[in-house]
Amino acid sequence: MTSKRNILVTGATGQQGGAVARALLSRGHHVKGLTRKPGSEGARQLASAGAEVVAGDLADADSVASAAKGVDTMFLMGNSYEAGLEEETRLGILAADAAKTAGVGHLIYSSVADADKKTGIPHFESKYLVERHIEQLGIPHTISAPVAFMENAVAPWSIGALNQGIHAFAMPPKRVLQLVSLVDIGAFVAALVERRERVFGKRFDFAGDELSGEERAKILSDAIGHPIRYQ
């Protein structure tokens, strides 16, 4: 049986961090959820699920180091949409340094699939800079690199088009796109936590499925209950 771990999860009230926190809690681990707003509804829901909510901000390295003190593992993720690309990189580096200062035994960084392939895609490159810094720190680490989230198809920015019967994406209708569910990301990260030494120094690109635009539109049509066409 896997021993119980003590894990600090950054972004714990968001989509990906929340999925990771829930997966870890479901496996019996102790989760410390780092949030800038410990009084928020998301933080209250996290606490109700069994997590220990701690106040902290990636921009405040001391708060991260304090929260990380004594944990077995730290899950670190950034958000370029909220912070901007340069700030995401800066905060990721600060938080990784804080993990080293706190003596964290295993740092799991959430990047993106193919960020190490010199794609030139800005939000891939910003994450890869953090990856390289973590490697140079010399601490036990693992890179979790999921593909695009399935949930983006029903995200707030997609709802307007869906209400008009359209699933819009900038790819030809028959070209496949690799996707992964947030639930599967949570389960994957939990597996990395539990494998610990066996995944030190490794990078994992992973997906849950690959579907064309037309296939995604068909799935959405069936789920929503009215015709959705790909555009």
DSSP type of residue 38 = T
User: Cα 228 to the chain's mean position, in Å?
Assistant: 28
Q: Are 47 and 161 in contact (CB under 8 A)?
A: no
* Cβ-based neighbours of 32, under 8 Å, separated by 6 or more: 6, 7, 8, 9, 51, 52, 53, 54, 67, 71
pTM of the model: 0.94
**H or E stretch covering 75:** strand 73-76
Q: What does the domain layout of the chain look like in residue ranges?
A: 6-147+182-207
Smallest CA-to-CA distance from 57 within 25, 21, 16, 13 is with: 13
- Whole-Å CA distances, 224 to 144, 186, 221: 31, 25, 5
3-state secondary structure of 52: strand
Residue 130 to residue 167: CA distance in whole angstroms: 33
Report residue 215: phi and psi, to 5°. Answer: -65, -40
Q: Are 5 and 190 in contact (CB under 8 A)?
A: no
The residue to which tokens 């392939």 are assigned: 117
Both tokens of residue 80?
């370029």
What is the reported pLDDT for 189?
99
Both tokens of residue 77?
């993720």
What is the reported pLDDT for 44?
96
The one-digit pLDDT tens for each residue of the chain (231 residues) are 478 999 999 999 999 999 999 999 999 999 999 999 999 999 999 999 999 999 999 999 999 999 999 999 999 999 887 778 999 999 999 999 999 999 999 999 999 999 999 999 999 999 999 999 999 999 999 999 999 999 999 999 999 999 999 999 989 999 999 999 999 999 999 999 999 999 999 999 999 999 999 999 999 999 999 999 999
Q: Which CATH architecture has domain 6-147+182-207?
A: 3-Layer(aba) Sandwich (3.40)
Question: Hey, CA dihedral for 103, 201, 15, 118, is it positive or negative?
Answer: positive
Q: Are 143 and 111 in contact (CB under 8 A)?
A: yes
